[in-house]
Every structure is written in structure tokens, then in C-alpha cells.
Structure 1
Amino acid sequence: MLLWINGPFGVGKTQTAHELSRRLPGSVICDPEQVGFGMHRMMPPALRGDFQDLPAWRQGVFEVLDRVLTGQDGPVLAPMTVIEPGNFRETVGRLRERGHDVRHFTLLAERETILRRLRERGLGHAVRVVAGRAAPLRGETFAVSRLDLCLERLATPEFAEHIHTDRIDVAGVADRIADSAGLALAPNTDGPLRGRLRRAWTGVRHIRFF
């Protein structure tokens, strides 16, 4: 089974995928973004754009996930923002046509909620402490520039199932996804402090410097 976790940049897809992975024995995270980053590394900066516009990205994601789903017994977790219907059909749609059990979820939240999460993820919280709460989201320019479009596109029925996360923590979002997919999660034994530290470490590990 593939759990594709969609949503605007900064809504909490990666955190949710890691929470699911932690509590789903035998699961594996396959991040489609890594295919795009590999392509960007092969190109000079002036030629880089949205890697989802490259047919090779869509084909590569399909082939990798098809291979993993064929050889992996446990759930496969793919946290990835996809807002173009054509790209969605060439990835999620083709995997379904291939016969794989694909469960798609879109995490949504109010605009201000996502902006707050962008400020707090990775090194953002440290920057806020030093520069003040109103410090601009310099490292999140792309995420902010695409936020309104993401919210508009992903709210449509094509991108269901929708989960509104404004008042749900990461563990709660993972619970909802697992319940909808018919999967049993291990109990969440994290206390508030341990959970915050775990999420902070996940955020630091996924800071992008390129």
C-alpha cells in the first residue's frame, strides 16, 4: 500500500510521514522530492526550474515507487506536494492503473497556520529568536510564493481525501490517515517534550541548502 501525503509546502507532510514510519512496523519512506533534487544537482543553477515540469521526474517517480511497491511488504510513504492535475495523473494515477493500492491524502490548514509552521520548521525557530517574530521567511520564498495556489488547487475534489490540520497535532494526523487506510499504528508513547524534540530533529534533518 502507498500512502501519498499531499499538501501545501509547510503544512506538515514530512513530519506526518516520519510519525507514520515510526509507528508503522515495516513501513518505508520514499520521498519523490529526492528524484527532483538529483536532477537539479545535474543542472547548472540557471537551468533549474520546477522539477515537476520535467517528464523525467514524473517517469522516475512512477518507476521507483512501482518497484518499491512491488518488492516491499509494508506500507510505502510518499510525502510530496503535487498540485498540477496532469502531474497527479502521471504519478498517483499511473500507480493506481498499475494495480497498486494507493491511498492519497491532502493535508490542509489555514494560510496563517501554514505561515507559522514555515517560520518554526528547521532553523526557522532559531532565526525568529535572534531576529524577532516578524523576521521574513527568507529560506521559504518558494513555499510562500506557491501557498495561495496550493491552497486553491488542493481544496478541489480531485485531491481528496482532505484532512484539515489546524487543530490536530502531527500524531493526530497520523492517526487519521492510518484509520482511513485501515492500518494499525503502534501507540504514541511520546510525551509533549519528547514529541517536540523529535519533530525539531526531523525538521533540521530536512533543511534544504540548495
Structure 2
Amino acid sequence: MLIWINGPFGVGKTQVAHELKRKCPGSVIADPELLGFGIQRMYPPELRVDFQDTPWWMPTVADILIDVARRHPGDVIVPMTLHDEARHHHIFEAADSALRKPQFSTHIHTDRRALAQVVTELGSVLGRQLRYSPQELVQLPFRSAIVKVRHIR
């Protein structure tokens, strides 16, 4: 299953993705931002723009996600902000037709909610019980800090 986590910059998509990966054995994170940074680095500094505005990012992301979703037996988790309707349409139409699965979209309100609450609700939407033990709740801030430090750019 392809699970796209969309939302504004800095809202915690990466944190949710890493917790979801931890709670769903066999899942992987495919972060399109990493591809974007690679594309950006190939351009000289004076030609760099938002990587989503390059002609390479959108079709390459779609192709990679389709390939991973076809070949990986587990869930593919994608934490990425897509606010442009044309990009959203292109990537999801390509994935829908290639994977022959209907698009699935559910909005989960995350304002003023703890990470564990968001992941638990996302699990319910996916038809899975992703509950937290008291020990996991104690460890969660430490895991979150590690993810945050690893993603400083």
C-alpha cells in the first residue's frame, strides 16, 4: 500500500512516517525530498529553484514510487508536502493507473494532537491496530528527537 502523508512544512510528516514505519513491520519510507535535494545539487547555485519546479522531479517521483510499490511487499510511506494541484494530480494519476488501485484519501486533523494519537488514528484508517504501550509512550520523545536530528538540513 502506498501511504502519502501530506501537510504543511514543519507539521511533523516525517515524525509520523517514522513512527508508522516502526509500528508497521516490513514498511519502508520513500522520501521524495531526498530525490529533490539530489536534483538541486546537480544544478549550479545560480540556476537552483524549488526542486518541485524542475522538469525532472514530478515524473521521477511518480516512476520511483510506482516501482517501489510494485516490488516491495510492505507498505510504502511517503512524507511529502504537495500543495500544487497539478503535481498532485500527475503523481497520483500515474500511481493509480500503474498500480491499478483506486486513490484513497483521508484527512486526519493533527492540530494540537500528540504524535501517538495521530499514528493510532492513521492505523485505524488503514484497518490496523497501532496502539502504544506505556513504555513506548515514554520512549516516544526520545525517538522523535533522534528523527529530528537526523533530518536537519
Normalised by the length of structure 1, the TM-score is 0.67
Partner Cα separation in structure 1 for residue 146 and residue 96 of structure 2:
34
Deviation at 1:83, TM superposition (A): 0.4
Identity, % of aligned positions: 44
Change in Cα spacing, 1:103 to 1:207, as seen in structure 2 (3 Å) is farther
2:136 counterpart residue number: 190
Partner Cα separation in structure 2 for residue 191 and residue 170 of structure 1:
10
Change in Cα spacing, 1:78 to 1:185, as seen in structure 2 (3 Å) is same
2:8 counterpart residue number: 8
> Is the Cα–Cα contact under 8 Å of residues 116 and 132 in structure 2 kept in the other structure?
no
Deviation at 1:167, TM superposition (A): 2.6
Aligned-partner residue type, residue 118 of structure 2:
V
Aligned residues: 151
Partner Cα separation in structure 2 for residue 103 and residue 79 of structure 1:
16
Aligned-partner residue type, residue 145 of structure 2:
A
Partner Cα separation in structure 2 for residue 96 and residue 183 of structure 1:
22
Tell me if 1:176 matches 2:121.
yes
Deviation at 1:184, TM superposition (A): 3.8
2:78 counterpart residue number: 78
Q: Which runs of 5+ in 2 are unaligned?
A: none
Deviation at 1:164, TM superposition (A): 1.7
Partner Cα separation in structure 1 for residue 19 and residue 66 of structure 2:
23
* Greater Rg by CA: 1
**Pairwise mapping of residues 112-123 of structure 1 onto structure 2 (< 5 A)?**
none
Deviation at 1:46, TM superposition (A): 1.4
Partner Cα separation in structure 2 for residue 102 and residue 45 of structure 1:
37
Partner Cα separation in structure 2 for residue 29 and residue 102 of structure 1:
19
2:17 counterpart residue number: 17
Change in Cα spacing, 1:177 to 1:103, as seen in structure 2 (3 Å) is farther
Change in Cα spacing, 1:65 to 1:85, as seen in structure 2 (3 Å) is same
Q: Which runs of 5+ in 1 are unaligned?
A: 105-160
Deviation at 1:51, TM superposition (A): 1.0
> Is the Cα–Cα contact under 8 Å of residues 27 and 75 in structure 1 kept in the other structure?
yes
> Is the Cα–Cα contact under 8 Å of residues 39 and 51 in structure 2 kept in the other structure?
yes
Normalised by the length of structure 2, the TM-score is 0.91
**Segments of 4+ moved more than 2 angstroms:** 100-104, 183-189
Higher relative contact order (CA 8 A, sep 6+): 1
1:205 counterpart residue number: 150
1:36 counterpart residue number: 36
Change in Cα spacing, 1:18 to 1:102, as seen in structure 2 (3 Å) is farther
